[in-house]
Protein backbone atom coordinates (compact mmCIF):
# COMPACT_ATOMS: atom_id res chain seq x y z
CA UNK A 1 0.00 0.00 0.00
CA UNK A 2 1.48 3.38 -1.03
CA UNK A 3 1.40 5.89 1.82
CA UNK A 4 1.32 9.66 1.44
CA UNK A 5 4.06 11.15 3.66
CA UNK A 6 3.32 14.74 2.59
CA UNK A 7 -0.32 14.62 3.69
CA UNK A 8 0.52 12.85 6.95
CA UNK A 9 3.30 15.28 7.75
CA UNK A 10 1.22 18.37 7.00
CA UNK A 11 -1.79 17.22 9.02
CA UNK A 12 0.29 16.14 12.02
CA UNK A 13 2.03 19.54 11.94
CA UNK A 14 -1.35 21.20 12.45
CA UNK A 15 -2.30 18.90 15.32
CA UNK A 16 1.11 19.05 16.95
CA UNK A 17 0.70 22.76 17.66
CA UNK A 18 -1.83 21.69 20.30
CA UNK A 19 -0.11 18.43 21.18
CA UNK A 20 -0.94 18.48 24.89
CA UNK A 21 -4.65 19.08 24.33
CA UNK A 22 -4.80 16.56 21.49
CA UNK A 23 -3.11 13.86 23.58
CA UNK A 24 -5.52 14.44 26.46
CA UNK A 25 -8.46 14.31 24.04
CA UNK A 26 -7.18 11.07 22.48
CA UNK A 27 -6.91 9.24 25.81
CA UNK A 28 -10.20 10.62 27.08
CA UNK A 29 -11.92 9.32 23.94
CA UNK A 30 -10.11 5.98 24.11
CA UNK A 31 -10.98 5.31 27.75
CA UNK A 32 -14.55 6.63 27.50
CA UNK A 33 -15.28 4.25 24.63
CA UNK A 34 -13.10 1.39 25.87
CA UNK A 35 -13.00 1.55 29.68
CA UNK A 36 -11.34 -1.85 29.91
CA UNK A 37 -8.17 -0.41 28.35
CA UNK A 38 -7.54 2.06 31.19
CA UNK A 39 -5.90 -0.61 33.34
CA UNK A 40 -3.17 -1.09 30.73
CA UNK A 41 -1.84 2.44 31.30
CA UNK A 42 -0.05 4.19 34.19
CA UNK A 43 -2.07 6.07 36.77
CA UNK A 44 -0.23 9.29 35.90
CA UNK A 45 -0.74 9.96 32.21
CA UNK A 46 1.35 13.10 31.57
CA UNK A 47 4.38 11.18 30.29
CA UNK A 48 2.17 8.86 28.26
CA UNK A 49 0.72 11.89 26.49
CA UNK A 50 4.22 13.07 25.59
CA UNK A 51 4.97 9.58 24.34
CA UNK A 52 2.01 9.54 21.93
CA UNK A 53 3.12 12.52 19.84
CA UNK A 54 6.80 11.64 20.04
CA UNK A 55 6.00 8.23 18.56
CA UNK A 56 3.66 9.66 15.91
CA UNK A 57 6.29 12.17 14.83
CA UNK A 58 8.94 9.48 14.65
CA UNK A 59 6.66 7.32 12.50
CA UNK A 60 5.89 10.12 10.05
CA UNK A 61 9.55 11.12 9.77
CA UNK A 62 10.52 7.50 9.02
CA UNK A 63 8.02 7.17 6.16
CA UNK A 64 10.79 8.19 3.77
CA UNK A 65 13.09 5.48 5.18
CA UNK A 66 11.12 2.22 4.76
CA UNK A 67 13.78 -0.08 6.21
CA UNK A 68 14.13 2.02 9.36
CA UNK A 69 10.34 2.31 9.62
CA UNK A 70 9.93 -1.46 9.37
CA UNK A 71 12.55 -2.01 12.06
CA UNK A 72 10.98 0.62 14.31
CA UNK A 73 7.48 -0.86 13.98
CA UNK A 74 8.79 -4.37 14.57
CA UNK A 75 10.58 -3.22 17.73
CA UNK A 76 7.43 -1.42 18.94
CA UNK A 77 5.28 -4.46 18.25
CA UNK A 78 7.57 -6.82 20.14
CA UNK A 79 7.97 -4.36 22.99
CA UNK A 80 4.20 -3.88 23.36
CA UNK A 81 3.83 -7.53 24.42
CA UNK A 82 4.98 -6.52 27.89
CA UNK A 83 2.16 -3.93 28.02
CA UNK A 84 -0.33 -6.80 27.48
CA UNK A 85 -1.47 -5.26 24.19
CA UNK A 86 -3.46 -7.71 22.05
CA UNK A 87 -4.50 -7.54 18.38
CA UNK A 88 -8.08 -6.70 19.28
CA UNK A 89 -6.92 -3.49 21.01
CA UNK A 90 -5.55 -1.91 17.84
CA UNK A 91 -8.89 -1.00 16.17
CA UNK A 92 -9.99 0.93 19.27
CA UNK A 93 -6.74 2.89 19.31
CA UNK A 94 -7.04 3.60 15.58
CA UNK A 95 -10.61 4.85 15.92
CA UNK A 96 -9.66 7.25 18.73
CA UNK A 97 -6.61 8.44 16.80
CA UNK A 98 -8.70 9.31 13.73
CA UNK A 99 -11.32 11.10 15.84
CA UNK A 100 -8.57 13.13 17.53
CA UNK A 101 -6.82 14.04 14.29
CA UNK A 102 -10.13 15.06 12.72
CA UNK A 103 -11.01 17.21 15.72
CA UNK A 104 -7.67 19.05 15.89
CA UNK A 105 -7.04 19.39 12.16
CA UNK A 106 -10.15 21.52 11.86
CA UNK A 107 -10.85 22.67 8.32
CA UNK A 108 -7.59 21.15 7.05
CA UNK A 109 -9.12 17.69 7.52
CA UNK A 110 -10.23 16.38 4.12
CA UNK A 111 -11.29 13.00 2.73
CA UNK A 112 -7.77 12.64 1.31
CA UNK A 113 -6.20 13.24 4.73
CA UNK A 114 -8.58 10.77 6.37
CA UNK A 115 -7.73 8.17 3.72
CA UNK A 116 -3.99 8.74 4.24
CA UNK A 117 -4.23 8.27 8.01
CA UNK A 118 -6.54 5.26 7.73
CA UNK A 119 -4.08 3.56 5.40
CA UNK A 120 -1.09 4.57 7.52
CA UNK A 121 -2.63 3.22 10.71
CA UNK A 122 -3.49 -0.02 8.95
CA UNK A 123 0.18 -0.43 7.96
CA UNK A 124 1.39 0.51 11.45
CA UNK A 125 -0.96 -1.79 13.32
CA UNK A 126 -0.47 -4.76 11.02
CA UNK A 127 3.31 -4.44 11.25
CA UNK A 128 3.21 -4.30 15.05
CA UNK A 129 0.74 -7.17 15.33
CA UNK A 130 2.82 -9.26 12.93
CA UNK A 131 6.06 -8.58 14.82
CA UNK A 132 4.48 -9.58 18.13
CA UNK A 133 3.01 -12.73 16.60
CA UNK A 134 6.40 -13.69 15.15
CA UNK A 135 8.02 -13.86 18.58
CA UNK A 136 8.52 -17.56 19.45
CA UNK A 137 5.72 -18.75 21.75
CA UNK A 138 8.25 -19.85 24.37
CA UNK A 139 9.61 -16.29 24.69
CA UNK A 140 7.99 -14.55 27.67
CA UNK A 141 6.46 -11.12 27.28
CA UNK A 142 8.09 -10.33 30.62
CA UNK A 143 9.98 -11.99 33.45
CA UNK A 144 9.31 -11.76 37.17
CA UNK A 145 12.59 -11.17 39.02
CA UNK A 146 13.29 -11.11 42.74
CA UNK A 147 15.85 -8.80 44.29
CA UNK A 148 18.36 -11.16 45.91
CA UNK A 149 21.02 -8.59 46.80
CA UNK A 150 20.94 -4.85 47.31
CA UNK A 151 23.96 -2.59 47.79
CA UNK A 152 23.79 1.19 48.11
CA UNK A 153 27.27 2.72 47.67
CA UNK A 154 25.88 6.26 47.37
CA UNK A 155 22.75 7.92 48.70
CA UNK A 156 21.40 8.33 45.14
CA UNK A 157 22.66 5.06 43.66
CA UNK A 158 21.86 1.39 44.20
CA UNK A 159 23.32 -1.83 42.82
CA UNK A 160 20.65 -4.53 42.53
CA UNK A 161 21.12 -8.22 41.83
CA UNK A 162 17.99 -9.82 40.38
CA UNK A 163 17.04 -13.47 39.97
CA UNK A 164 14.60 -13.89 37.04
CA UNK A 165 11.98 -16.61 37.35
CA UNK A 166 13.32 -18.33 34.19
CA UNK A 167 16.29 -18.16 31.87
CA UNK A 168 16.97 -14.59 30.76
CA UNK A 169 19.18 -14.74 27.63
CA UNK A 170 21.06 -11.55 26.75
CA UNK A 171 24.34 -10.33 25.26
CA UNK A 172 26.72 -8.08 27.23
CA UNK A 173 26.10 -4.48 26.19
CA UNK A 174 22.32 -4.89 26.04
CA UNK A 175 19.79 -3.29 28.37
CA UNK A 176 16.38 -4.21 29.72
CA UNK A 177 13.23 -2.33 30.60
CA UNK A 178 11.87 -2.66 34.10
CA UNK A 179 8.61 -2.03 35.92
CA UNK A 180 8.36 -1.66 39.70
CA UNK A 181 5.30 -2.26 41.89
CA UNK A 182 5.97 1.23 43.28
CA UNK A 183 5.27 2.71 39.83
CA UNK A 184 2.91 0.32 38.09
CA UNK A 185 2.73 0.32 34.29
CA UNK A 186 5.72 2.68 34.08
CA UNK A 187 8.70 1.10 32.30
CA UNK A 188 12.24 2.45 32.21
CA UNK A 189 15.46 1.16 30.56
CA UNK A 190 18.52 0.11 32.57
CA UNK A 191 21.78 -1.35 31.27
CA UNK A 192 22.68 -4.87 32.33
CA UNK A 193 25.89 -4.71 34.36
CA UNK A 194 27.19 -8.26 33.98
CA UNK A 195 27.90 -10.95 31.44
CA UNK A 196 25.67 -14.04 31.70
CA UNK A 197 26.30 -15.92 34.95
CA UNK A 198 25.90 -19.59 35.83
CA UNK A 199 23.24 -18.72 38.41
CA UNK A 200 21.27 -16.61 35.87
CA UNK A 201 21.27 -13.45 38.00
CA UNK A 202 21.27 -9.97 36.49
CA UNK A 203 22.95 -6.90 37.96
CA UNK A 204 21.69 -3.34 37.53
CA UNK A 205 23.34 -0.05 38.54
CA UNK A 206 20.61 2.54 39.12
CA UNK A 207 21.10 6.23 39.82
CA UNK A 208 18.15 8.31 40.97
CA UNK A 209 17.26 11.01 38.46
CA UNK A 210 15.16 14.13 39.18
CA UNK A 211 11.43 13.30 39.00
CA UNK A 212 12.29 9.76 37.92
CA UNK A 213 9.50 7.69 39.43
CA UNK A 214 11.10 4.31 38.70
CA UNK A 215 14.71 5.20 39.55
CA UNK A 216 13.54 6.90 42.76
CA UNK A 217 11.54 3.81 43.73
CA UNK A 218 14.49 1.50 43.04
CA UNK A 219 16.95 3.64 45.02
CA UNK A 220 14.71 4.63 47.93
CA UNK A 221 12.01 2.02 48.32
CA UNK A 222 13.10 -1.44 47.15
CA UNK A 223 14.14 -4.28 49.44
CA UNK A 224 15.58 -7.76 49.13
CA UNK A 225 12.84 -10.21 48.21
CA UNK A 226 10.77 -7.66 46.28
CA UNK A 227 9.58 -8.67 42.81
CA UNK A 228 10.22 -6.54 39.73
CA UNK A 229 9.01 -7.13 36.16
CA UNK A 230 11.59 -7.25 33.37
CA UNK A 231 10.97 -6.76 29.66
CA UNK A 232 13.00 -8.66 27.03
CA UNK A 233 16.64 -7.61 26.50
CA UNK A 234 17.14 -4.87 23.92
CA UNK A 235 19.90 -3.00 22.16
CA UNK A 236 22.81 -3.62 19.83
CA UNK A 237 25.63 -1.79 21.63
CA UNK A 238 27.46 -5.12 21.75
CA UNK A 239 30.92 -6.15 20.63
CA UNK A 240 31.33 -7.30 17.02
CA UNK A 241 31.29 -11.12 17.10
CA UNK A 242 34.73 -12.66 16.65
CA UNK A 243 36.63 -9.36 16.55
CA UNK A 244 40.19 -9.41 17.89
CA UNK A 245 40.80 -5.68 17.40
CA UNK A 246 42.01 -3.80 20.49
CA UNK A 247 39.13 -2.31 22.46
CA UNK A 248 38.60 1.23 23.72
CA UNK A 249 35.78 1.68 26.23
CA UNK A 250 34.69 5.06 27.60
CA UNK A 251 32.21 5.15 30.47
CA UNK A 252 30.73 7.80 32.71
CA UNK A 253 28.66 7.45 35.87
CA UNK A 254 26.48 4.33 35.88
CA UNK A 255 27.59 3.73 32.29
CA UNK A 256 30.29 1.77 34.08
CA UNK A 257 27.74 -1.03 34.55
CA UNK A 258 27.38 -1.67 30.82
CA UNK A 259 31.16 -1.42 30.37
CA UNK A 260 31.70 -3.90 33.19
CA UNK A 261 29.44 -6.40 31.41
CA UNK A 262 31.47 -6.00 28.20
CA UNK A 263 34.77 -6.47 30.08
CA UNK A 264 33.49 -9.68 31.64
CA UNK A 265 32.77 -10.91 28.12
CA UNK A 266 36.23 -9.91 26.85
CA UNK A 267 37.78 -11.95 29.67
CA UNK A 268 36.71 -15.10 27.80
CA UNK A 269 38.68 -14.04 24.68
CA UNK A 270 41.24 -11.49 25.93
CA UNK A 271 42.54 -8.61 23.81
CA UNK A 272 44.24 -5.34 24.66
CA UNK A 273 41.62 -3.12 26.27
CA UNK A 274 41.75 0.46 27.54
CA UNK A 275 38.93 1.92 29.64
CA UNK A 276 38.47 5.59 30.48
CA UNK A 277 36.13 5.80 33.46
CA UNK A 278 34.89 9.30 34.21
CA UNK A 279 32.61 11.00 36.68
CA UNK A 280 31.58 14.44 37.81
CA UNK A 281 33.12 13.76 41.22
CA UNK A 282 35.23 11.11 42.91
CA UNK A 283 32.05 9.63 44.33
CA UNK A 284 30.94 8.68 40.82
CA UNK A 285 33.58 5.94 40.93
CA UNK A 286 31.27 3.96 43.14
CA UNK A 287 32.43 0.48 42.08
CA UNK A 288 36.19 0.77 42.56
CA UNK A 289 36.43 -2.65 44.20
CA UNK A 290 35.20 -4.26 40.96
CA UNK A 291 37.51 -2.05 38.90
CA UNK A 292 40.54 -3.10 40.96
CA UNK A 293 39.57 -6.76 40.84
CA UNK A 294 39.30 -6.71 37.05
CA UNK A 295 42.62 -4.92 36.55
CA UNK A 296 44.44 -7.20 39.00
CA UNK A 297 43.10 -10.34 37.32
CA UNK A 298 43.59 -9.30 33.71
CA UNK A 299 46.96 -7.97 32.46
CA UNK A 300 45.37 -7.06 29.11
CA UNK A 301 43.16 -4.45 30.81
CA UNK A 302 44.06 -0.83 31.62
CA UNK A 303 41.56 1.41 33.42
CA UNK A 304 42.18 5.17 33.52
CA UNK A 305 40.14 6.98 36.17
CA UNK A 306 39.07 10.53 35.28
CA UNK A 307 37.73 12.23 38.44
CA UNK A 308 35.54 15.20 37.64
CA UNK A 309 36.27 16.83 41.02
CA UNK A 310 32.77 18.23 41.19
CA UNK A 311 32.86 19.68 37.69
CA UNK A 312 29.54 20.27 35.89
CA UNK A 313 28.66 17.99 33.01
CA UNK A 314 30.38 19.89 30.20
CA UNK A 315 33.60 20.38 32.20
CA UNK A 316 33.71 16.70 33.15
CA UNK A 317 33.28 15.75 29.48
CA UNK A 318 36.14 18.06 28.49
CA UNK A 319 38.40 16.38 31.04
CA UNK A 320 37.49 13.02 29.53
CA UNK A 321 38.17 14.31 26.01
CA UNK A 322 41.59 15.63 26.99
CA UNK A 323 42.59 12.31 28.53
CA UNK A 324 41.53 10.44 25.38
CA UNK A 325 43.25 12.74 22.89
CA UNK A 326 46.46 12.77 24.94
CA UNK A 327 46.87 9.11 23.99
CA UNK A 328 46.94 9.93 20.28
CA UNK A 329 45.32 7.80 17.59
CA UNK A 330 42.66 5.16 18.26
CA UNK A 331 42.62 3.86 14.70
CA UNK A 332 41.84 0.17 14.36
CA UNK A 333 40.05 -0.07 17.72
CA UNK A 334 36.60 -1.33 18.49
CA UNK A 335 34.99 1.41 20.58
CA UNK A 336 32.28 1.03 23.22
CA UNK A 337 30.73 4.14 24.79
CA UNK A 338 28.31 4.22 27.73
CA UNK A 339 27.10 6.92 30.07
CA UNK A 340 25.29 10.26 29.91
CA UNK A 341 24.07 11.04 26.37
CA UNK A 342 25.96 14.35 26.21
CA UNK A 343 29.21 12.59 27.05
CA UNK A 344 28.63 9.78 24.57
CA UNK A 345 27.68 12.18 21.78
CA UNK A 346 30.71 14.42 22.26
CA UNK A 347 33.22 11.62 22.75
CA UNK A 348 31.95 9.80 19.64
CA UNK A 349 32.40 12.97 17.59
CA UNK A 350 35.87 13.54 19.02
CA UNK A 351 37.02 10.00 18.24
CA UNK A 352 35.85 10.28 14.64
CA UNK A 353 37.21 13.78 13.99
CA UNK A 354 40.49 13.85 15.89
CA UNK A 355 41.48 10.32 16.91
CA UNK A 356 41.14 8.36 13.64
CA UNK A 357 38.45 6.04 15.02
CA UNK A 358 36.26 4.44 12.36
CA UNK A 359 32.62 5.41 12.79
CA UNK A 360 31.40 1.90 11.98
CA UNK A 361 33.44 0.51 14.89
CA UNK A 362 31.88 2.85 17.50
CA UNK A 363 29.06 1.21 19.47
CA UNK A 364 26.69 2.83 21.94
CA UNK A 365 23.00 2.94 22.79
CA UNK A 366 20.76 5.31 20.78
CA UNK A 367 21.26 8.92 21.81
CA UNK A 368 17.94 10.44 22.84
CA UNK A 369 17.11 14.07 23.40
CA UNK A 370 14.72 15.71 25.80
CA UNK A 371 11.13 16.22 24.66
CA UNK A 372 10.93 19.61 22.94
CA UNK A 373 7.92 21.78 23.65
CA UNK A 374 9.06 24.75 21.56
CA UNK A 375 6.94 25.58 18.55
CA UNK A 376 8.86 26.22 15.32
CA UNK A 377 7.46 28.71 12.83
CA UNK A 378 6.50 26.29 10.08
CA UNK A 379 5.81 22.64 9.42
CA UNK A 380 9.13 22.07 7.63
CA UNK A 381 11.09 23.23 10.68
CA UNK A 382 8.74 21.28 12.93
CA UNK A 383 9.65 17.96 11.36
CA UNK A 384 13.36 18.66 11.12
CA UNK A 385 13.72 19.15 14.88
CA UNK A 386 14.46 16.35 17.32
CA UNK A 387 11.62 15.99 19.79
CA UNK A 388 11.89 12.54 21.26
CA UNK A 389 11.22 11.42 24.79
CA UNK A 390 14.47 10.15 26.28
CA UNK A 391 13.07 6.85 27.49
CA UNK A 392 11.41 5.89 24.20
CA UNK A 393 14.27 5.75 21.73
CA UNK A 394 16.14 3.03 23.59
CA UNK A 395 13.47 0.62 22.37
CA UNK A 396 14.50 1.29 18.78
CA UNK A 397 17.39 -1.21 18.80
CA UNK A 398 19.87 1.29 17.44
CA UNK A 399 17.67 3.01 14.88
Residues 295-313 pLDDT 10s: 999 999 999 999 765 566 6
pLDDT score, position 332? 97
Q: Are residues 178 and 54 in the same domain?
A: no
Helix pair 111-134, 90-105: axis angle to 10 deg: 150
Average pLDDT score, the chain? 88
- Is 104 a member of any domain? yes
Q: Which helix (H) or strand (E) holds 189?
A: strand 187-191
Closest CA to 391 of 364, 372, 363, 368: 368
Please give the pLDDT value at position 316. Answer: 79
Report helix, strand or coil for 363.
strand
Give the domain CATH number at 148.
2.40.30.10
Q: Are residue 81 and residue 129 in the same domain, yes or no?
A: yes
124 and 13, same structural domain?
Answer: yes
DSSP output for 138-183: TS-S-EEEEEEEEEEEETTEEEEEEEESS-----TT-EEEEE-TTS
DSSP string covering 229-282, please? Answer: EEPPPB----PPTT--S-EEEEEETTHHHHHHHHHHHHTTS---EEEEEE-SSG
The pLDDT assigned to 379 comes to: 42
What confidence tens digit (pLDDT) does each residue in 107-117 have? 999 999 999 99
Question: Can you give the pTM of this predicted structure?
Answer: 0.84
With cut-offs at 50, 70 and 90, classify the pLDDT of residue 212: confident
- pLDDT (tens digit, 9 = 90+) per residue, 138-175? 999 999 999 999 999 999 999 999 999 999 999 999 99
Based on the domain organization, do 213 and 116 belong to the same domain? Answer: no
Domain limits for position 199? 143-230
For the chain, how many structural domains are there in total? 3
The answer on pLDDT for 399 being more than 50 is: no
pLDDT at res. 398? 31
19 and 116 together in one domain: yes
Residue 39 sits in the same domain as residue 58:
yes
Residue 385 has pLDDT above 90, yes or no: no
> What is the predicted pLDDT for the residue at 4?
82
Amino acid sequence: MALDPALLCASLSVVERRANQASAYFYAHLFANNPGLRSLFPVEMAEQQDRLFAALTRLVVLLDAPERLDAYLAALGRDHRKFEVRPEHYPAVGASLLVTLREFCGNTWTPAVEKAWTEAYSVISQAMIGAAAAVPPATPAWWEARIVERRQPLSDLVVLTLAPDRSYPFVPGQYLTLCSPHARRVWRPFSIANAPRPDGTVELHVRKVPEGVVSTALVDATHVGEALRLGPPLGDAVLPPGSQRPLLAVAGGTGWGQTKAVLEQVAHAPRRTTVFLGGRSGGDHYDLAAVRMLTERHPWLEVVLIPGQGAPGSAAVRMMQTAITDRGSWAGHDVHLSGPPDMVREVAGLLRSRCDAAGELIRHDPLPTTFCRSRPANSADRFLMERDVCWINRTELGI
